[in-house]
Chain A
């Protein structure tokens, strides 16, 4: 057997995990990388008598916004809240999708509401529907806008995600050993726990990072439209302005978007950070992905590995051109 077939290590997944871990360390201990506070304003540089916004320099790695707040510091402080929001929605979509897919497969039913939801997200751009709902005035200004935010994004992402999970879980339930387990008298729960769940790990190893990437992308896109977990406004003699004390990347995009031409750094660097996060999650997902469904179902689960190694999800020879049908054909 080819050596690479049972390789449990994936360089891509490792790099992705390393990047995310780096982000987490910075986010949890901001003082390691910055000595500014997230609201601290650098009002004037006496050396050359200039006022903010300051450009990229040794003092401000990503420059400052128009108030002199260091953008790098804001980004660093924004990492954990962003990942927290994403985690809430990933956990919701994943749990709901798996439960619904298992119920649909187990009892051979189609839940009409779920079907309609999936259909809706397959014919209208989901982000447009999110905007239509989240920009409703009572929702936008609600004290519970964060819950609306989680719920609307979660539900519409669920609609997009369910057909994928449904198809994969149906594939597991079609396996001959499930039928054998039914014949020998296993209960549905026992079969699920002993056979189905065990085969779901590799799928989950791919779903989790790809859902993170997807939800972060949606959060970022909504951020440009001013849709964030908590929009705050300040009314003064000069008029109303969008302000927010919360620090997450979508809010930074939302704030930076208002001064796009005066301070491009305010949009550029948060976007870059968010993109880097998304790329890292995509790397993990790619590392965890199998080349084809057949391969996935043939070679899993690998019992001799601890669970955390399995999460890194091996790539088989196909990805490296080892035993690919095209290569075999030659």
Chain B
């Protein structure tokens, strides 16, 4: 187990160093700021910027930088809500949809529902967000009263809750496809026929035999679903102006101004090497914990039946 954890942590360590190396290349020392002040004692070379990036997390851990760390941590809750909601939601709704896809395939009404979700999945994340954002602007212009409060707004239910649901769509559709295929494979197995011939009820057959055997297959997809959600979170927070979010803060740290302002390198914020390093490390830590959890779950649900 320790070996397994070490393997994951080691890979992650290399990857984070690589990402920090990429992040530090080509950034001029004069453009790098800490707490609103330029980095002092930095020559304008890649190595000095790189070592500043490597040094940043250690600096953040020292007492004078605790307020910055606290401020950076304050960006976590909103993003954590988005990610956790989307992850759990994509498993719950994805599996349910996958099951329905198999058993309700012939229902005409359900085909329409499937088509709607296919369309939602086919539109890229940025498209969904921009169409909702600009669409609600147009809608608000056309229908200023909004007496029944249906136009997306900054309140929770039509704001962040709606966004969390949008974030859920790609991973949910992915998991529903996996569930669909896994069930289709499993349905051809003879042990199901044996169990049925012995008189087991369909629901019990499904729950005890079929579903239990597709769980490992579903758990295998957890890291993929997670990275899909993180990738979508980037577009979601940036394009829907979620300045209280983790990814938004990371992008701001990279000097990426808010959408609606002039482009990067024109009206940019400074490249906050500490913020970027700190956020990337936080993301790394978060993802490592998640990967370990997913691996433990996979180990816990041993493969009962192999499709091969």
Contact = CB atoms under 8 A, between A and B. Distances in A.
B231 interface: yes
B75 interface: no
Contacts of A140: 264-265
B266 A242 contact: yes
A325 B18 contact: no
Nearest to B22: A132
A241 B184 contact: no
- Interface residues of chain A: helix, strand, loop or mixed (majority): helix
Given A122-B224, A240-B266, A242-B262, A278 B123 contact: yes
Contacts of B238: 224-225
B126 A123 contact: no
B227 A271 contact: no
Contact of A275 (B124, B234, B235, B264): B124
**Chain A CB within 10 A, most for which of B15, B238, B259:** B259
Interface string B83-126: 00000000000000000001101100000000000110011111
A290 to B, nearest CB: 11
Contacts of A132: 19, 22-23, 254
B297 interface: no
Interface residues of B, number: 61
Contacts of B11: 119
Interface string B1-39: 000000000011001001100110111100000000000
A257 B25 CA distance: 27
Interface string A199-228: 000000000000001000100110011110
A139 interface: yes
Interface stretch (A41-49, A83-91, A185-193, A279-287): A279-287
Contacts of B18: 120
A contact residues, range: 35 or more
A135 B268 CA distance: 12
Nearest to A141: B265
Contacts of B266: 233, 240-242
Interface stretch (A94-102, A175-183, A260-268, A299-307): A260-268
Interface string B221-262: 001100100110111001100000000001100111001111
B263 A275 contact: no
A136 B234 CA distance: 19
A282 B11 CA distance: 34
Interface in B114-142: 118-119, 122-127, 130-131, 134-135, 137-138
A302 B60 CA distance: 63
B24 to A, nearest CB: 9
B264 A321 contact: no
Nearest to B18: A120
Interface in B178-197: 181, 183-185, 187-188
B287 interface: yes
A128 interface: yes
Interface of B: 11-12, 15, 18-19, 22-23, 25-28, 102-103, 105-106, 118-119, 122-127, 130-131, 134-135, 137-138, 181, 183-185, 187-188, 223-224, 227, 230-231, 233-235, 238-239, 250-251, 254-256, 259-266, 283, 287, 291
Report the 9 A-B pairs with minimum CB-CB distance, sorted nearest first.
A136-B26, A226-B263, A275-B127, A217-B124, A125-B231, A325-B187, A282-B122, A268-B134, A260-B260
Given A125-B231, A326-B103, 17 more contacts: A122-B227, A124-B15, A127-B235, A135-B264, A137-B26, A224-B238, A226-B263, A241-B262, A242-B262, A258-B260, A264-B137, A268-B134, A272-B131, A278-B124, A291-B181, A291-B184, A326-B102
26 contacts: A124-B283, A125-B231, A133-B22, A136-B27, A137-B27, A137-B265, A139-B26, A140-B264, A220-B124, A221-B124, A224-B126, A226-B263, A257-B260, A258-B260, A261-B137, A261-B260, A264-B137, A268-B131, A268-B138, A274-B124, A275-B131, A278-B122, A321-B106, A324-B102, A325-B187, A326-B103
